[in-house]
A and B are shown apart, each in its own frame.
Chain A
Amino acid sequence: DAKTTQPTSMDCAEGRAANLPCNHSTISGNEYVYWYRQIHSQGPQYIIHGLKNNETNEMASLIITEDRKSSTLILPHATLRDTAVYYCIVRVTPYFGNEKLTFGTGTRLTIIP
């Protein structure tokens, strides 16, 4: 079973920040939060991951609450190409080996022109 809960769908206006929430209340101390997205008919694309500190890269920012029970993926200036299904996944640290990704049903984000 997936260890995360996400809204089924969200809309965001083009050019605005898209904030995608994820609840992972049973996360363990050695589990990271990963985000992937899947544009229609393509393979999933890695976005970002983090343990407890906020992370930022060229695609997005990841904000993790202090108790690590939830997180938010932020796309700062959403474009139409960001329309996709976004998956929040928790998995053990890489130091425990290459563990499979357990996907839920994700959040379908639609960017509105």
Chain B
Amino acid sequence: EAEVAQSPRYKITEKSQAVAFWCDPISGHATLYWYRQILGQGPELLVQFQDESVVDDSQLPKDRFSAERLKGVDSTLKIQPAELGDSAMYLCASSENRADSDTQYFGPGTRLTVL
């Protein structure tokens, strides 16, 4: 069964450093999402791509976060500089761009700890 791949699974960094997370969606899925999940809470959307275009980044802290999906396939989420409050699970999800099927499938996530 096809899965969403994410790396790394765990990342420890010091505040003010730069970090990057990578996501490879299920093949053929045009829509890609990045969510952030703080411990004890549900995931919250950071950014949504349709192919290579951003369709929703209203909750992305653009002063320090950036996301790209240059060829409309895999994606990278970057934080620079990292802050203590960025410690969380970063989840990637993908879905087909079909009117009758838009179930989101999630990857295993990257757990970020900022010291």
Chain A residues close to B by CB (< 8 Å): 2, 41-46, 49, 87, 94-95, 98, 100-106
Q: Are A44 and B43 in contact (CB under 8 A)?
A: yes
B114 interface residue, CB < 8 Å from A? no
Q: Are B42 and A103 in contact (CB under 8 A)?
A: yes
CA distance A100 to B55 in the complex (A): 11
A94/B43 contact (C-beta < 8 A), A43-B108, A46-B104 known:
no
CA distance A107 to B44 in the complex (A): 17
A43 contacts which chain B residues (CB < 8 A)? 4, 91, 93, 106-109
Given contacts A41-B109, A98-B102, A100-B45, could you give 14 more A-B pairs where the C-beta distance is less than 8 Å?
A2-B42, A42-B108, A43-B107, A43-B108, A44-B106, A94-B99, A94-B101, A94-B102, A95-B99, A98-B95, A101-B104, A103-B41, A103-B44, A105-B42
Q: Is the interface of A mostly helix, strand, loop or mixed?
A: loop
B50 interface residue, CB < 8 Å from A? yes
B48 interface residue, CB < 8 Å from A? yes
Chain B residues close to A by CB (< 8 Å): 4, 31, 33, 40-45, 48, 50, 56, 91, 93, 95, 97-109, 111
B101 contacts which chain A residues (CB < 8 A)? 94
- Residue in contact with A98 in the complex, picked from B44, B91, B97, B108, CB distance below 8 Å: B97
Q: List 12 A-B contacts (CB under 8 A).
A: A41-B109, A43-B106, A43-B109, A45-B106, A46-B104, A49-B103, A94-B98, A94-B102, A100-B45, A100-B56, A101-B45, A105-B42
B109 contacts which chain A residues (CB < 8 A)? 41-43
